[in-house]
Structure 1
Amino acid sequence: MKHIILKVAIILITTGLFAQNKNYKKQWEFPAKDSTMYVTAEQQKELYATEAEMQWFKDAKLGVFVHWGPALFETDALSWGRNGERPGAGKPATKGVNPEVYDNLYKKFDPVNFDADKWMQQVKDWGAEYIVFTAKHHDGFAFFDAKNSDYTIMNTPFARDICKELAEAAYKANVKLFWYYSQPDWVHPDNLREKHYENYLPYMKQHVKQLFTDYGRIDGVFWDHLATKYWQWDSYHILKDLKKWQPGIISNARVGFGWPLEDRGDYDTPEQSLGPVDHHRYWEACLTMTDKWLYHKNGPVKPYETVLSMLIQVAGNGGNLLLNLGPDAKGEFVEKEAKQALKVGEWIKTYGHTIKNTRRGIYIGGDYGSSTQIGNKLYIHVLQKLGNTTEAAIELPVLPTKILTAKGITNGFKNHEIKNGKLILHFDKTQFNNNLDNIVELTLAEDPSNFERIETWKAIPLENTEFNVSESSFSNENKKGDVIYDAKGNVFSEGIHLKKWWEPARDDKEPSLTLDFKSPKKVKTILLSENMRSHCVREFTIETKNAKGQWSTAFQGETIGEGLRIKLNGTPIYGMRLNPTKKTKNIQITAFNAYE
């Protein structure tokens, strides 16, 4: 009876929270002040950037995101670490820093080591072409000399217009500059309330006009509308003004929901995910160098190998990587993060021509990796690693045009052949796994963009009905091994990262995740991923089980990161086991899948 009562109580609480959250979101949505704020599909089309205006952005491939603010004194969550009302958000705050404390942290914000010129040099050294800076986040603090507010950088001990200095430095360094600007403002008393149109909207428009008219050339805008409608910000007229003030400016998709056409802004912005492999338009993956957007002194820093793997996958699938680094209270980037970013830049100096200025390749991303192309050059980026297979060869569908030449950009490529309707690339096995990315340049008789893209992989893993899952331990009931096979819970949507992973107990000295197959499987590929916020594995092995129940090592690796594919020889196995043996933080595995 106690169990029944407890279950009923949980259901009632959960239902109540759902209703509360649903109503919370709805209270911030209301009609436009007048009909001119609504637009037709034709009016929406007027706002799209041209292909010529988008070209530099599509060529860039890598940008640096900077989340910063006085909040770092008390929390590692910018705006979301404030416990108070959240106009425009989908959920109410349930914890965080008291508003009376949070909203006064700016009074001690004094980043004495901030150097805008040094920042721009670092951006360039890291191989990036543009920077997106948080001029104003949801918490309302302005990093510019806002004339209609006291809650600005000018009223801190620092008392210098950081946006002005960044704009000047970006122009000198030839780095493209975006302002991040949150339309919702959690400290303004009239934002999304009764006098929103009378008081808040003019306040916001004054900010926007200042940011895009007083600071020279601004190349783009990164909005962040949360759960609001486009007309609440008069987005149509604001975007029209931006195009007048800054000809050629581009805008992300977060300009408010409710537009007549599905495509909002000029490009999509998946967050904490690598995004789609064959999207219908350009996109930008917004990812963090640590597990937080704001400064996190002891956060799990992504190794450069992981960042590069993500960059290569994103570029090959038609997008940019926007990598976030959070400066500290003195105005400097965290040394450990900057060190890894610099290694990314060093790799780009050597191999960047196979990424930058290219477009997604004719081969859609798959278990092999991804492809990029420019003119009649096609670059195959082989990210797959070799497990217990004897041959270092990658098979792809045959191309619709003749290959004139094939050469290895990285060491170890031997030759190619066309056989049984397949393009087979042969590599030296000893060199293959030593390369982060095995790159092959194919010179084709025709420009591959003249042909339809080619699917390379039916990415359908074994279903969880075909195996039993067991783990050495788990940190709590919601972090058991089987939760990562709940596809419904792990479907990506914009602004939402995957929320289910296997996490072993902290005192587990020999963590392992095991799949026992109910019948033998001819596994050709294993896919592994970690939680995007915690790429912390630094050594691991994968074992496979034979018919006698004996386990043998099929692969040994160091970093997992996002979307690591491991090639096996395809002989029948009865199970597979992941053993993470070294880590820097808590292990969080989001994918451990087998493909026949």
Structure 2
Amino acid sequence: MRYTQLLIILFASLSVFAQKKTSYKDQWQFPAKDSTMYVTAEQQKELYATEGEMEWFKDAKLGIFIHWGPALLKTNVLSWGRDGERPGAEKPATKGVPAEVYDNLYKKFNPKNFDADRWMQQVKDWGAEYVVFTAKHHDGFVFFDADNTEYGIMNTPFGRDICKELAESAQKAGVKIFWYYSQPDWTHPDNLREKHYENYLPYMNAHVEQLFTQYGKIDGVFWDHLATKYWQWDSYHLLKKMKEWQPGIVSNARTGFGWPLQDRGDYDTPEQSLGPVNHHRYWEACLTMTDKWLYSPNGPIKPYETVLGMLIQVAGNGGNLLLNLGPNGKGEFVAKEAEEASKVGEWIKKYGHTIKNTRRGIYIGGDYGASTQVGNTLYVHVLQQLADNAEATIELPQLPTQILSAEGITKGFKRYEVKNGKLLLYFDKNAFAKNLDNIVTLTLAEDPSTFERIETWEAIPVAKKEFKVSASSFAKAKNKPEVIYNAKGNVFSEVIHLKSWWEPAKEDKNPNLTVYFTTPKKLKTLLLSENMRSHCVRNFHIDTKDAAGNWKTVYKGKIIGEGLRVKLNGDAIYGTRLVILEHTNDIQITAFNSYE
């Protein structure tokens, strides 16, 4: 009997092991064809762009990502909306447009209003310096005149080389251009299969050589390797060739896993997240203007205030913002998206010198906002908003060098004071409230980049055991208000995705979220955030509860977006409440946190 039990356990263990060995992701991973495809750390270092080659990229701060394709005729999800095999992905498809339908949509794709010159003028009007365009996504459709496939733009009713026209227009307009190229291809029969090295790799290499030798000056490449290894694309030798074809080219990090050194590519690419606060190297946050990368006609459109807030936070913490807009089937950017992007451009015309051509500031981002610097000039960007009873004074740690002068770039700055190891910035409250970003220029006796960066905020929220939370309703069990606080790490951070949120029921006419403290709290800051894909709140207010049980509105706002900080006056309160009055799509609140 015992022997039988041991056999059962053994077979069960082998079964589990076999399942792990044959996981969906593992089937796409295999050794290199030969040893030359594996590299040493020294060889990897050969591929890094120099500081001089990276300079324009670090100066740019804002780029436009463009995801496009025939898929928009049936879905708002590029590639991932296809129900078929997904070589290189971690998970199989479980739904979507049938492959036989998806793969034939190109025969009806006719963006007859496409005008590359107009696109580039819009990009410039939006204040961006570069464009990243999807030359080929995972679904295999190519936007260039490739002679080794029929699955491309030349065989659509449109029948013109989009990449060629975009490259020519970008070069003429002085806009830098990157090609997005997905190494995995879900429609090529040999991709990551038995004849991968013999058939698919030459197919891919021909594409890359064409894109980076036949379209003039190309400034960068945005790879997207999914769950594959670098040697499967012979990334070392390919990138070496590309650096010869396009001297000075920069590459993102998605060149395949498994490199000897941690830093892949020239910069990191956090997706749908603001990225790291104090990262060890440069990075680029790629985010969508709507809820999807592809054209999403019914998706929530981020207001310009939200986009600007993210741009300022990203720039202040050592990165670029790559903002995605998905053109429609006619070949035009969506009018409302373009309108919001144009407002971003108008702000940049006035205040862009405090963002562009700067580097991350000595003050690390915190509840006050962010900072940027160039030479002896430090720009303090105050994104924090004020509750009705809060003073218009921003407190920061004292700088390690003398302040020679201080000037308000935006209206409302009154004076500064250094006192008890603190730098105090004083503002006129009425003027302060009218500015999205209150900017102060500090001229310093020494270049602040020679000093260590300064932490400004120890972001530790009130402990979960010290409050209870309730809501007017919730859509599903996974959207209860408790999930905001139960999920490990699900507090505001610019290094993680916030994947849990409170979502009220659709029929809820008075959606509200309430936090009751077990003992009175002297709060300094409230922090609110929406799901990155659903920035839809357009009118709300925040209330606080006093000892007598009375609720009082202390802040009224229009936009929550990503990481709204509201400064309170520090009085003891017994609860906080978020009341949402207007919204354009499903409400998804990822953070409503209190800080003492």
Q: Which TM-score applies when normalising by structure 1?
A: 0.96
Find the residue that maps to 1:521 and give its secondary structure.
strand
1:10 aligns with none
Counterparts of 1:93 and 1:266 in 2: how far apart (Å)? Answer: 32
Closer/same/farther in 2, CA of residues 409 and 244 from structure 1, 3 Å limit: same
Secondary structure of the residue aligned to 2:36 is helix
**Deviations 1:489-532, CA, capped at 9 Å, x for gaps:** 64899998432111000110000111111111111000000000
Shift of 1:22: 7.6
* Cα separation, 1, equivalents of 2:479 and 2:21: 24
1:23 aligns with 2:54: no
**Shift in Å, 1:573:** 1.0
Counterpart CA distance in 1 for 2:529 and 2:512 is 15
In the TM superposition, what is the alpha-carbon distance from 1:276 to its structure 2 partner?
1.0
CA distance in 2, matches of 1:123, 1:453: 33
> Is 1:279 the counterpart of 2:279 in the alignment?
yes
- 1:123 matched to which residue of 2? 123
CA distance in structure 1 between the partners assigned to 2:531 and 2:458 by the alignment: 23
Match of 1:443 in 2: 443
Amino acid at match of 2:327: P
Does the 8 Å contact 2:471/2:481 carry over to 1? yes
- Code of the residue aligned with 1:478 in structure 2: it is K
State the partner residue of 1:179.
179
Q: What residue in structure 1 maps to residue 312 of structure 2?
A: 312
SS of the residue corresponding to residue 548 of structure 1 reads coil
CA contact (8 A) 2:315 2:355 kept: yes
User: How far did residue 547 of structure 1 move?
Assistant: 1.4
Q: What stretches of structure 2 of length at least 5 have no aligned partner?
A: 1-14
2:94 is matched with 94
1:270-314 Cα offsets, whole Å, 9 max, x none, are 000101110000000000000010001121100000000000000
Equivalent residue, structure 2, for 1:481: 481
Give the distance between the partners of 1:578 and 1:144, measured in 2 at CA. 50
> Partner of 1:527 in structure 2?
527
Q: Distance in 2 between matches of 1:93 and 1:540?
A: 39
Query: Is contact 1:271-1:495 (8 Å) kept?
Result: no
CA distance change for structure 1 residues 527 and 229 in 2, over 3 Å: closer, same or farther? same
Q: Is 1:169 equivalent to 2:169 in the alignment?
A: yes
Q: 1:433 maps to which residue?
A: 433
- Provide the secondary structure at the position in 1 that maps to 2:276: coil
Check whether the contact 1:269–1:494 (CA below 8 A) recurs between aligned residues: no
Conserved 8 A contact 1:185-1:191: yes
Match in the other structure for 1:330: 330
Structural mapping, 1:447-486, within 5 Å: 447-486=447-486
Quick one: distance in 2 between partners of 1:251 and 1:22? 32
What is the letter of the counterpart of residue 257 of structure 1? F
Deviates more, 1:106-115 or 1:544-553: 544-553
Match of residue 238 from structure 2: 238
Whether the 8 Å contact between 2:362 and 2:454 is mirrored in structure 1 is: yes
What is the CA deviation profile of residues 63-96 of structure 1, one whole-angstrom value per residue up to 9, with x for unaligned ones? 0000000000000000000000000001110000
Query: Is residue 269–residue 285 contact of structure 1 (8 Å, CA) maintained in 2?
Result: yes
After TM superposition, the structure 1 = structure 2 runs for residues 200-349 of structure 1, keeping only pairs within 5 Å, are 200-349=200-349
Contact 2:390 2:567 in 1 (8 A): no
SS at structure 2 position matched to 1:59: helix
Aligned counterpart, 1:71 = 71
CA distance in 2, matches of 1:229, 1:569: 52
Question: Residue 564 in 1 paired to residue 564 in 2?
Answer: yes
Identify unmatched segments of 5+ residues in structure 1: 1-14
- Counterpart CA distance in 2 for 1:225 and 1:430 is 50
Asked if the contact 2:362–2:453 (Cα under 8 Å) also holds between the matched residues in 1, the reply is: yes
Aligned residues: 582
Cα offsets for 1:125-175 (capped at 9, x unmatched): 000000000000000000001111000100000000000000000000000
Q: Report 1:314-463 matches (<5 A).
A: 314-463=314-463
Q: What is the alpha-carbon distance in structure 2 between the residues aligned to residue 363 and residue 183 of structure 1?
A: 39
TM-score (norm 2): 0.96
Pick closer, same or farther for the CA change 1:20–1:66 going to 2, 3 Å.
Answer: farther
Identity %: 76
Give the equivalent residue in structure 2 for 1:5. none
* C-alpha contact (below 8 Å) 1:127/1:349 kept by paired residues: yes
Contact 1:526 1:567 in 2 (8 A): yes
Contact 1:21 1:91 in 2 (8 A): no
SS of 2:97's equivalent? coil
Provide the C-alpha distance between the structure 2 equivalents of 1:283 and 1:484, rounded to a whole number of angstroms: 27
Helix, strand or coil at the partner of 1:24: coil
**Alpha-carbon distance between aligned partners in 2 of 1:563 and 1:254, rounded to the nearest angstrom:** 27
Q: Do 2:31 and 2:232's aligned partners in 1 also have CA atoms closer than 8 Å?
A: yes
Task: Return the alpha-carbon distance in structure 2 between the equivalents of residues 417 and 492 of structure 1.
Answer: 30
Distance 1:495 1:82 in 2: 30
1:318-348 CA distance string (max 9 Å, x none): 0000000000001000000000000000000
